[in-house]
Structure 1
């Protein structure tokens, strides 16, 4: 048999339009050729027999602000050029996030999907893998043939979801052809920290998906929460059920959408919340150690600039930390100039450094830190050069590039022991698995930034209304799916 030729392409980033950060080409990790194939561990699995994978281009970035238009244009142009030059493709695996925003434009993924469709032609089957925090407009759903997303938040099934999308594509190319899609948007827009699948109602809503997927005539089912920190008409929840039985996929898409709508007021934060002051007061008084606090408003893995210094300024004023009665780690502030000052002084030196608030000045701007250079690390794969400044009982992590702190090793590599520290304050929303297991207790602080959990104070004006929770008394919507 002639091998199936399947291309691989995509641009993956989550972009907050409320963050002043701008995503440049240097922020993307761009892979082509063999490096792109090496991204997927399942290539070479038995179900890939008879498939020639054709690597085009994939670009992935840590979440951040909107992408500069010239950067998007260059990446799109190269994907189109490579897809055209690759010759006839039977299929294309479209590996995206789904919440990319480009400065001055809307619905970037639909534009990219349309460009890819134009390059590969109408007969090529396109299978799309997405984050459940992506947005599925009608235009995007129409431009591709199969579309699915993660079923867990935190995203412990991200690679499993990509493999499912690729596997379904191969199976349909062997036998089945182009399926139908029942698509419907649900006028609800909630932050990921209110829709974690660790807790209800998302746990049960997503728990129903495998049963729907297993039904005769159904290939795949997916629920998207949407992305709350972009201000575009497409930003809302969505459901797509894919398969050959039009009646079945339509009925189950409606059932899932109605279940999501009915549960809209039941979604709650994944952890107890409070102001930063309230969270610090509770944590200091608690016997639970380590006590973790999510500095949620500037979470770089949701699109925050990573240099909002407001929380740091508040921590520096806490007497227990200032006097060293309580130990704490704050992760982190991105500021290459501050890091350079620490490196110039050297480990063990006493320094006065102004850090943060240069990209997203927020309510505080750069903050003065007087302390000792505790440790210096060069060439971190994500954070670049990193410095830790100790002031009183507080260790402040400064990075030259934005870096999330999700694992124990992120801290121990800097000579820090989060397990032996009283308070760990980290720019994150819901805790990733290692930190979740580490925490003896945990609070989510509602802090300012480009991914503020309080959506109503961000100032959305580009979303389609009515939309919950912006319009809490809105009438029940028509959730009749459309067959695409």
Structure 2
């Protein structure tokens, strides 16, 4: 490695990205992570793809990158094999020609069966493989976790500043640009200082959306801190609420070259967050499913959206808890064809196969859901008419719409989140003209949010239950809000910044 500025650094790319609920009985196998290798990794990001702004900024050395939609933990044998491939690839690349840097592409909330702090474990192994001189940068989801071990193994850390994550790609690029900027400095000045502060707060994303206060204002401070002399980056990781590991909590981190500035700003941000920690509330009116349905039926606004939040597949739910569907099928309002409603969705390959065998227009009598997560209801009986079949969806593979009265139920071969209008229209459904749309989601993603005339968050059961106390954590660090009472000033946590040392 040269002591002088590097004009075209040699930078490796690797990582495993997953958000995994330890309360879900599902597992995420290797195939669900869709591992990419070599040039396929570069094609996945526009900034370093062919013609991208950073394509020629470095000699990119893509090793392996896996990414899955949220789900259950990764089995140990799958993780061990993927980890070994990453480490072997990095060692081989580094021996062939020394690496200058690495992009560690992760989410931050991956769980592995039988292991705490999977990203920390992988980061330490990577650091040991490439040595102390290689600069490593990561851009993470704000629902990720930053353990001390992860913070120590990384040199540069940044995270999203918006929830929903409309700045995801911007954050990933910022992590790369931060790395390139530091590699352009003389070797002795490249590695910044890191001020790290844990906060005893564990909240679901639906209570920390940057669309509303207090998160809106707290995250707005991040860019102000970043603009200060002596600061490179600042982050507020709210953490991942649905894994029961000691690392799961909120973290503030500020990186830069001025120890006094990064320490002071980290502490001020941490205090600002703690001063408002009891203000975090659901991003929408919330209630039981019955309360949400009654509000929808009484409303003249159309379409009315209800989030079936407890089994949200984009937070780590198995996706096939059928309790909500069973409750919908009991409602007389939805048996009336004049009231139009859509439910998305239930993954059940056997039910989909039965619909395919019957064909469009046929009447079917199905047992649906609870294949992975039995939930409180088990499988639910669904009778109706096969109205539409769609083949070729990249996530669901095959989708089927079954009509029961005024309710259209989407069944999928594999688990799929429904986030955009096209997810519905490709199934012959017009969500804009529906009276009611019930979707397995937490806060509404941007297209659905813009489409909804009104909406509520239903506090339903599942592996990502919004009621964390009801869900039952046993291994998180305590005391922790909202599990414990901090009303006595004597219980105020120590929010002093700790400087994270460089790896040696």
Smaller-chain TM-score bracket:
over 0.9
For residues 46 and 181 of structure 1, the distance between their equivalents in structure 2, rounded to whole angstroms, comes to 28
For residues 110 and 80 of structure 1, the distance between their equivalents in structure 2, rounded to whole angstroms, comes to 14
For residues 45 and 7 of structure 1, the distance between their equivalents in structure 2, rounded to whole angstroms, comes to 17
Describe the superposition over 1:398-434 as per-residue Cα deviations: whole angstroms up to 9, x where unpaired.
0111100000000000000100100000000000000
Describe the superposition over 1:16-67 as per-residue Cα deviations: whole angstroms up to 9, x where unpaired.
0001111111211111111101111111555564410110110000100111
Q: Which residue of 1 aligns with 2:123?
A: 113
Q: Is the contact between residue 220 and residue 243 of structure 1 (CA under 8 Å) also seen in structure 2? A: yes
Q: Is the contact between residue 195 and residue 253 of structure 2 (CA under 8 Å) also seen in structure 1? A: yes
Q: Which residue of 1 aligns with 2:318?
A: 305
Q: Which residue of 2 aligns with 1:192?
A: 205
- In structure 2, relative to structure 1, the CA distance for the partners of 1:368 and 1:261 (3 Å cut) is same
For residues 2 and 427 of structure 1, the distance between their equivalents in structure 2, rounded to whole angstroms, comes to 48
Q: Which residue of 2 aligns with 1:167?
A: 177
Describe the superposition over 1:426-464 as per-residue Cα deviations: whole angstroms up to 9, x where unpaired.
000000000000000000000000000000101100100
| Count of matched residue positions in the alignment of Structure 1 and Structure 2 | 484
1:202 Cα deviation after fit: 0.2
Q: Which residue of 2 aligns with 1:150?
A: 160
Q: TM-score, normalised by structure 1?
A: 0.99
Match of 1:54 among 46, 61, 65: 61
For residues 93 and 137 of structure 2, the distance between their equivalents in structure 1, rounded to whole angstroms, comes to 18
- In structure 2, relative to structure 1, the CA distance for the partners of 1:2 and 1:433 (3 Å cut) is closer
Q: Which residue of 2 aligns with 1:388?
A: 401
User: What RMSD over aligned residues (CA atoms) do the two structures have, in Å?
Assistant: 1.0
For residues 173 and 314 of structure 1, the distance between their equivalents in structure 2, rounded to whole angstroms, comes to 57
1:472 Cα deviation after fit: 2.2
For residues 30 and 259 of structure 1, the distance between their equivalents in structure 2, rounded to whole angstroms, comes to 40
SS of match in other structure, 2:232? strand
Q: Which residue of 1 aligns with 2:372?
A: 359
Q: Which residue of 2 aligns with 1:85?
A: 92
For residues 390 and 325 of structure 1, the distance between their equivalents in structure 2, rounded to whole angstroms, comes to 13
Establish whether residue 37 from structure 1 lines up as the match of residue 42 from structure 2.
yes
Gaps of 5+ in 1: none
Q: Which runs of 4+ in 1 moved over 3 A?
A: 44-50
Q: Which residue of 1 aligns with 2:425?
A: 412
Q: Which residue of 2 aligns with 1:250?
A: 263
For residues 453 and 270 of structure 2, the distance between their equivalents in structure 1, rounded to whole angstroms, comes to 36
For residues 46 and 8 of structure 1, the distance between their equivalents in structure 2, rounded to whole angstroms, comes to 17
Q: Is the contact between residue 284 and residue 326 of structure 1 (CA under 8 Å) also seen in structure 2? A: no
Q: Which residue of 2 aligns with 1:71?
A: 78
Match of 1:319 among 299, 319, 332: 332
Q: Which residue of 2 aligns with 1:476?
A: 492
1:467 Cα deviation after fit: 0.3
For residues 285 and 206 of structure 2, the distance between their equivalents in structure 1, rounded to whole angstroms, comes to 11
Gaps of 5+ in 2: 1-5
Q: Which residue of 2 aligns with 1:137?
A: 147
Q: TM-score, normalised by structure 2?
A: 0.95
Q: Which residue of 2 aligns with 1:267?
A: 280
Q: Is the contact between residue 186 and residue 236 of structure 1 (CA under 8 Å) also seen in structure 2? A: yes
Establish whether residue 8 from structure 1 lines up as the match of residue 8 from structure 2.
no
